[in-house]
Structure 1
């Protein structure tokens, strides 16, 4: 069998889905850490660890630049990457986007953390900017819920409770009851760092930098771009307004 024929036959056996992101659709790629519960228990403090947060932000910032994202949001072990509606990233191929974003996040996190870590990836699609705002409101709501649960669970564990006892104490408890539980141990959930409860947003912004033109001997102003890392995100309607005005969703 000739080489070209042999290669053609092997390529026919490759199974590749040709799905693409529809033209004009708003696409958000979300990567999630795989097996991160065990990873974080072994390597980081609970319920939150500043070093882990810095690694996640470094990974999010790398994704912002690598994939030409309009906005990136990270909370817990997940990162959401908002692509421009007119993106032609990997020809808008779904299989390429999810595989490469997962691989890229895994590589950056591994490099920053100094140990292997793996992310999976999926794509969320929206038709309008309003639906994009709904998505990020949803993820921020998840951040708040997970933060409250994490603070409750690990406060009980640090007090000597077993996994089963901590789970039983939280089972069926309302938000108010969980806040009361924490208050009983001297923790006011509303006073915990905002980034723990609301997540962290990243986007590219323009700013003016004063300078001097030596040829014309006069002051000038140059417009530069930088990455904004916001650890004090607002909530609810204020958060949606921020995304609408600053990120142009």
Structure 2
């Protein structure tokens, strides 16, 4: 019989043949997406459309959990059923192996969201490897603007659905409409898209902030002011160039 060490060495080759590690100096940004969340949110949980604060809070709590489960996350962003995470260049967890990041992050998000919602929920994950701060900014600018586009379309679609149009008719009504035409459609129903809450249009950002709190010096017992870190949840993110500057400031 072959000894265990011989078998282990032989079989590890097959398990690790597809291992790719992110090179030093490259930024990693993970994007997680909910799988079959339309069924989960509309049929199982029956959340309000197009936006529901209960679902928003579940996504924020899941994002916060990903920031505190062992990874060095500088910035996180969530919109709809997706989460993006920017890792520190110094993050060396799992030797920066992509398969470990993808599998662990998807598992952590799936487990946390399932516990919160009380039903089975799963996420997939993919990693972007970005060589510059400018590309990191472009990535988050892309997701920020995607949130705006999706929110406008969602408001139009569900406004028509609530006006008794079925799925096919509502989709057909919106086909080919420009941004200005969609805004006009909403205005005809008394909805000014500019007045929609920022978190619905722009997503939500989470990042670390330093704060001060009273403490006691354990050596001499004197009262002191200690600095601690906590996660700030930003529900009023800026847009366009202002958002680009906002993301750049994460690196300072």
Normalising by the residue count of structure 1, what TM-score does the alignment of the two structures yield?
A: 0.92
Equivalent in 55, 58, 66 of residue 58 of structure 2? 55
**Following TM superposition, by how much is the alpha carbon of 1:220 offset from its aligned partner in structure 2, in angstroms?**
3.4
* 2:102 corresponding residue in structure 1: 98
**Following superposition, which runs of at least 4 residues in structure 1 exceed 4 angstroms of deviation?**
5-13, 210-219
**Following TM superposition, by how much is the alpha carbon of 1:221 offset from its aligned partner in structure 2, in angstroms?**
2.3
**Do residues 114 (structure 1) and 118 (structure 2) align?**
yes
Cα distance in 1 for partners of 2:231, 2:18 equals 35
RMSD of Structure 2 on Structure 1 (CA): 2.1
CA displacement 1:110-147 (0-9 Å, x = unmatched): 01111001110001121111111111000000000000
Cα distance in 2 for partners of 1:128, 1:101 equals 23
Distance 1:6 1:25, change over 3 A: closer
Give SS of 2:31's match: strand
CA contact (8 A) 2:27 2:132 kept: yes
Cα distance in 1 for partners of 2:25, 2:218 equals 46
Cα distance in 2 for partners of 1:158, 1:148 equals 16
Unmatched tracts of structure 2, length 5 or more: none
Distance 1:13 1:223, change over 3 A: closer
Give SS of 1:70's match: strand
Cα distance in 1 for partners of 2:211, 2:12 equals 50
Once the two structures are overlaid, the 10-residue window that deviates more, 224-233 or 15-24, is: 15-24
Normalising by the residue count of structure 2, what TM-score does the alignment of the two structures yield?
A: 0.91
Cα distance in 1 for partners of 2:76, 2:8 equals 41
**Do residues 32 (structure 1) and 33 (structure 2) align?**
yes
